[in-house]
Amino acid sequence: MVGIIMGSISDLKVMQEAADMLKEFGIGYEIDIVSAHRTPEKMVEYGKSARSRGLKVIIAGAGGAAHLPGMIASLTSLPVIGVPVKSSNSIDGWDSVLSILQMPSGVPVATVALNGARNAGILAAQIIGTSNETMGTILDRYKEELKDKVAEMSLEAQKINAQK
């Protein structure tokens, strides 16, 4: 199971893409609002209890100062994937990206692109797939589907070239 957390309900539109990918792969997940600044006690409890509750990976989305992913990573030994969210109080999203990206030594957070929750869901599945052969097979099939889609697009482009 994967935990998907975010600092505000306003982040849900972005973070839903991680949940959608996990659902597509058949991976269970939970979603919660856990604010590093407004509910620090809840954040500490969430991070410290994550492994014992059966979580394997945590995806944490945050905008603005974006402390949630790093703070959760400081509380658990589980892999944490940070999703920088371009929020209304953001400096074009760069503050969120840099806040999550620039973690101190010993507290890593895997960081995806700004609003890149879809990739966070895929990365979580890949982490789970390292020890789950069924998930590995599902991911291999997903990668083949991506390749097939590009091949189809290439054929479309060739048709356009032929019409010139």
Total of domains in the chain: 2
Residue located via tokens 């099939």:
141
Q: List the CATH number of the domain containing 80.
A: 3.40.50.1970
pLDDT digits (tens, 9 = 90+) for 18-51: 999 999 999 999 999 999 999 999 999 999 999 9
Which tokens sit at 45?
């409890």
Same domain for 82 and 146, yes or no, is no
Same domain for 121 and 140, yes or no, is no
Same domain for 85 and 57, yes or no, is yes
Q: What is the mean pLDDT of the chain?
A: 95
Residue located via tokens 């006690």:
41
* Mean pLDDT for the stretch of residues 75-94: 92
pLDDT digits (tens, 9 = 90+) for 119-157: 999 999 999 999 999 999 999 999 999 999 999 999 999
- Coil, strand or helix: which one is 138? helix
Share of the chain above pLDDT 90, in %: 91
- Is residue 8 a known part of a binding site? yes
Same domain for 100 and 157, yes or no, is no
- pLDDT computed for residue 88 by the predictor: 81
pTM: 0.94
- Is residue 11 a known part of a binding site? yes
Same domain for 144 and 95, yes or no, is no
Same domain for 126 and 148, yes or no, is no
- Is residue 38 a known part of a binding site? yes
Q: Which residues pair with 60 in a beta bridge?
A: 5, 82
Same domain for 108 and 29, yes or no, is yes
Segments forming the whole domain that contains residue 91: 2-131
